[in-house]
């Protein structure tokens, strides 16, 4: 069974500082990895995804993530955090696309990011 672990429940960073959110996954085949951001009362917005190819993936809002198969990790990074980045971030793993059954995602428990001004 697939699973996702986000070890950090809360993280606080100063505005302008760099950010790294950790994500470890367990999946039997080639994973399809996602990072989503959720603002209060909002749905999830896709930041980026990894399917194949270059292991460093660029996303929206200046975020990037690196897939490391040897470490089963897909950590999210941003060089300089903005106050508007404060939100909850979810890592997710799914089956490879076009499986015919839809992409059922397994989510981590999320990391709440607080940005200090």
Partner 1 sequence: GAVVSQHPSRVICKSGTSVKIECRSLDFQATTMFWYRQFPKQSLMLMATSNEGSKATYEQGVEKDKFLINHASLTLSTLTVTSAHPEDSSFYICSASVFGATNEKLFFGSGTQLSVL
Positions that interact with partner 1 (CB under 8 A): 4, 9, 36, 41-46, 51, 90, 97-98, 101-110
- Dist CA 46 CA 34 (whole Å): 7
Min separation Cβ 18 and partner 1, Å: 25
Q: Which is nearer to partner 1, 72 or 107 (CB)?
A: 107
66-72 long-range contacts, CB within 8 A, separation 24+: 67/33, 71/24, 72/24, 72/25, 72/26
Min separation Cβ 42 and partner 1, Å: 5
Q: Which is nearer to partner 1, 59 or 108 (CB)?
A: 108
Q: Which is nearer to partner 1, 45 or 80 (CB)?
A: 45
Min separation Cβ 101 and partner 1, Å: 8
Q: Is the dihedral of CA 45, 79, 77, 65 positive or negative?
A: positive
C-alpha 98: how far from chain center? 21
Q: Which is nearer to partner 1, 15 or 49 (CB)?
A: 49
Query: Phi, psi at residue 70, to the nearest 5°?
Result: -65, -25
């Amino acid at each position: 069974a697939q699973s996702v672990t986000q070890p950090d429940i809360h993280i606080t960073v100063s505005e302008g500082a760099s950010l790294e959110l950790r994500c470890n996954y367990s999946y039997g085949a080639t994973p399809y990895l996602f990072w989503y951001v959720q603002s209060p009362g909002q749905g999830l917005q896709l930041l980026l995804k990894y399917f194949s190819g270059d292991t460093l993936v660029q996303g929206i809002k200046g975020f990037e993530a690196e897939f490391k198969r040897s470490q089963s990790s897909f950590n999210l990074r941003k060089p300089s955090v903005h106050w508007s980045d404060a939100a909850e971030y979810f890592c997710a793993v799914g089956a490879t696309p076009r499986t015919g059954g839809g992409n059922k995602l397994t989510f981590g428990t999320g990391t709440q990011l607080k940005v200090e001004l």
